[in-house]
Amino acid sequence: MLLREVEYARPSTIEEAVALLTEHDGARALAGGQTLVNVMKARAASPDVLVDLADLDELRTISFSADGGTLEIGAMVTCTALAASSEVEVARPVLAEVASTIADVQVRNRGTIGGNVCVSDPTNHFPPLLSALDASFTVRGAAGERVVPAGEFFVGVYMTAVGEGELLTKVSVPTRKPGTGDAMAGLTLGAHGTYVVSAAATVGPEGARVVIGCVSSTPVRATAMEERLAGGDYSQSAVKAAAEGLGATLEPPSDVHASADYRRALAEVSAVRAVLQAAERAKG
Amino acid sequence: MTVAATPTATSVVSLEINGEAVELEVPSSRLLVHLIRDDLDLTGTHIGCDTGNCGACTVHVDGVPVKSCMMLAVQAQGTRITTVEGLAPDGELTPLQQAFSAAHALQCGYCTPGMLMSASALLEQNQSPSEEEIKVALQGNICRCTGYWNIVEAVQEAAKGGAA
């Protein structure tokens, strides 16, 4: 397919990339391109300038913070690299598990964690998962760097806190503490397809965090369910009871894949499955 | 203009394809699959859906399978690409290709170049894949003729024969 004419630049430093994004109206960062190239084909996006991040090696690293309490994942880390990372395996294995179920081998070889979150497609895997894991996002602009918590990062469908002239450089995820477990559940289109409804949960000594995806423009915290789980009873009946009424609090869309009511039902089922599995993993 | 830090509407791309160095000027909007098929006349790489779903356009970029319709030609600057033509450069079919023939792993053949590229990438990494691992490796490739069984069987047979 022929794309609309576009200019292309491949900066070699983050500073150059930010300058390009700042100086050119209609400039857009190009990560793995597994969404952006497609939306350009459909003319759903028509950037004038593509700023390819491919040469920014510092965005491809996975490391730990100085105190070891945070896993720091560069925005250009691919799903394949996440799935194979020994650091991720040790510190937050659910990230590798979920990365290895996104789309297919070819897409995972190019698609990045930064692209997945910056697209902010409600059906994507990482937005609800990273919200449940209480991740934070480092955004670089001409004025410097700021750190945005997950609760403020996802602003709307295809919209995040990354503004014009800014670049997401890093996703920071707290390392898993002893007695903590994470899981993601939901209904996908095909084995590794996009979600119709998803639920991500983390269960630990500080309680549970439960986040539902695909039911709104951004991930939704199931706060009432979290409060009902505060007693620490993760038996099947207790978790089911805690999820009751969750669907009624949501305003999900109806589309060709599922009605709003079906999504409400799926949200409760998915949340229960995610919490039960996370609680099981929390045992060790 | 070469690929650089200044935005340009065309770029000179140099890359290695099937062992041969090439350099050509392309519009920045050009998809890699068009560079391969139209500029280099390597028409073994197919365009199926053009939306990144079918995998017929799969090639190896620096040794890993990617969909060449979801990558700009300029993004391939400096990479090493293998297309289906590069699997058997001397014209003699590889054990994997022979297994596809023997197991009737193709009917119309349209998806076959992509299937071969995904399967050969798997066998380079994993010489004795399980049935499940083969299915995962081929998840990004759609075949509308065979029902997949013969394709999985061909990859299994090729692995048994020590193909890579």
Write down the pLDDT at residue A59: 98
Which pLDDT band, with edges at 50, 70 and 90, does A79 fall under? very high
Q: Cite the beta strand spans of chain B per DSSP E.
A: 10-17, 20-27, 58-61, 64-67, 80-82
Tokens of residue B71, six digits:
């990558």
Neighbours of A133 (CB within 10 A): 26
Q: Which amino acid is at B72?
A: L
Q: Which domains does chain A carry?
A: 7-52 (3.30.43.10), 58-174 (3.30.465.10), 181-283 (3.30.390.50)
User: Can you tell me the mean pLDDT for A97-121?
Assistant: 97
**Spatial distance between the Cα atoms of A28 and A45, rounded to a whole number of angstroms:** 10
Tokens of residue A268, six digits:
């409760």
Write down the pLDDT at residue B5: 75
Which pLDDT band, with edges at 50, 70 and 90, does A70 fall under? very high
Neighbours of A5 (CB within 10 A): 12
Q: Do B29 and A12 touch (CB under 8 A)?
A: no
Record the pTM.
0.96
Beta strand B10-17 pairing with B80-82? parallel
Write down the pLDDT at residue B3: 55
Q: Collapse the DSSP code of B12 into the 3-class scheme (helix H, G, I; strand E, B; otherwise coil) and give the result.
A: strand
Question: Chain-centre distance of CA A54, in angstroms?
Answer: 20
| Residue B2 reports pLDDT greater than 60 | no
Q: Do A192 and B139 touch (CB under 8 A)?
A: yes
| Residue A264 reports pLDDT greater than 90 | yes
Q: Count how many pairs of residues, chain A against chain B, have C-beta atoms within 8 Å.
A: 105
Q: Which amino acid is at A58?
A: E
**pLDDT, tens only, B61-79:** 999 999 999 999 999 999 9
Q: Do B5 and A11 touch (CB under 8 A)?
A: yes
Which pLDDT band, with edges at 50, 70 and 90, does A193 fall under? confident
User: Can you tell me the mean pLDDT for A229-256?
Assistant: 97
Closest chain B residue by Cα to residue A109: B66
**pLDDT, tens only, A152-175:** 999 999 999 999 999 999 999 999
Beta strand A144-149 pairing with A62-64? unpaired
Which ipTM score applies to this complex? Answer: 0.95
**Residue A174 main-chain phi, psi, to 5 deg:** -60, 135
Selected residue with higher pLDDT from A142 and B5: A142
Q: What is the mean pLDDT of chain B?
A: 95
**pLDDT, tens only, B135-163:** 999 999 999 999 899 999 999 999 998 76
Write down the pLDDT at residue B1: 42
Tokens of residue B133, six digits:
């691992």
Query: What dihedral angle (degrees, nearest 10) is formed by the CA atoms of B77, B82, B83, B89?
Result: 130
**Residue A282 main-chain phi, psi, to 5 deg:** -65, -25
Residues from A contacting B (CB-CB < 8 Å) are 1-12, 16, 20, 24, 27, 30, 33-34, 37-38, 41, 49-52, 54, 80, 103-107, 109-110, 191-192
Q: What is the mean pLDDT of chain A?
A: 97
Which pLDDT band, with edges at 50, 70 and 90, does A191 fall under? confident
Q: Which residues of B59-81 are buried (b: 16+ CB within 10 A; e: fewer)?
A: bbbeebbbbbbbbbbbbbbebbb
